[in-house]
Amino acid sequence: MPRIRNQLLNTGFGETPDMTAPLYAVAFTEKHLACLQRWLADPDVHRNLYALYRPMSIDELTRWLEREQETDARMFFYRTSPEGCADTAVGLGLVHYIHPKHGCGELSIIVNPAISGKGFGRRIMGHLMETAFNEHGLHKIFFHCAGANSRMIDIATRAGFVQEGVYREEIHLDKTWYNIYRFGMLESEYAGFLKNNPGGHNVSPPQNA
């Protein structure tokens, strides 16, 4: 099963929530797999996923979820309403592949293509950073990003991530070869992020959680 990695889109459509909309985080469960399957099948989402070269069936996603649930991973489903209405779905965020000895973990984000470009990705990133460092007590977090995914690179830069490595010409899109970048952040660097961003991520648990 290929890993699900970061995707933040550069385009959106229709009437969508904005940066001021409430954002709620709930545990990602099997009932959210249908949303994830639709997002992964979207061409604009699919093109930014390095390891995933084809859409995935519900059975494949179910097996992926079961494996993640057997680990220390934290998996979140984000929406703009505390209720489970499908058209309020915002995205998926994970803190996973956590090393039990060295205290390092990987972040992954997927945003609903219908509401991309509305600032939700930055808020999800802030929530995952807090989860990784404050709840898991990690020493370091990291993620990988395709060079064509300029929105994710911008989020990483604004949040204070450090570009740690370049995998040259590892992804082929639109007849062009792109690099894959690895970004990382240390616990000490997260303290600096909090100092410069006292408002935090503005993500809430549902009222009935």
* CATH code, domain carrying 140: 3.40.630.30
| In a domain? residue 206 | no
Over 50: is that where the pLDDT of 209 sits? no
| In a domain? residue 182 | yes
| In a domain? residue 7 | no
Domain that holds residue 86: 24-196
- Helices 120-130 and 150-159, axial angle in degrees (round to 10): 50
pLDDT at 197: 78
**CA distance linking residue 107 with residue 132, whole number of Å:** 9
| In a domain? residue 149 | yes
First and final CA of the chain: distance in angstroms? 31
pLDDT at 6: 53
The dihedrals phi and psi of 11, each to the nearest 5 degrees, come to -135, 160
| In a domain? residue 135 | yes
Tell me if residue 181 falls in helix, strand or coil. strand
| In a domain? residue 126 | yes
Adjacency order of strands within the sheet including 89-96? 24-27, 74-79, 89-96, 104-111, 140-146, 176-186, 162-173
| In a domain? residue 6 | no
- Rounded to the nearest integer, the mean pLDDT of the chain is 84
| In a domain? residue 207 | no
Domain count, the chain: 1
Please write the tens of the pLDDT for every residue from 154-199: 999 999 999 999 999 998 888 899 999 999 999 999 999 888 877 6
- Helices 33-41 and 58-69, axial angle in degrees (round to 10): 120
Over 80: is that where the pLDDT of 81 sits? no
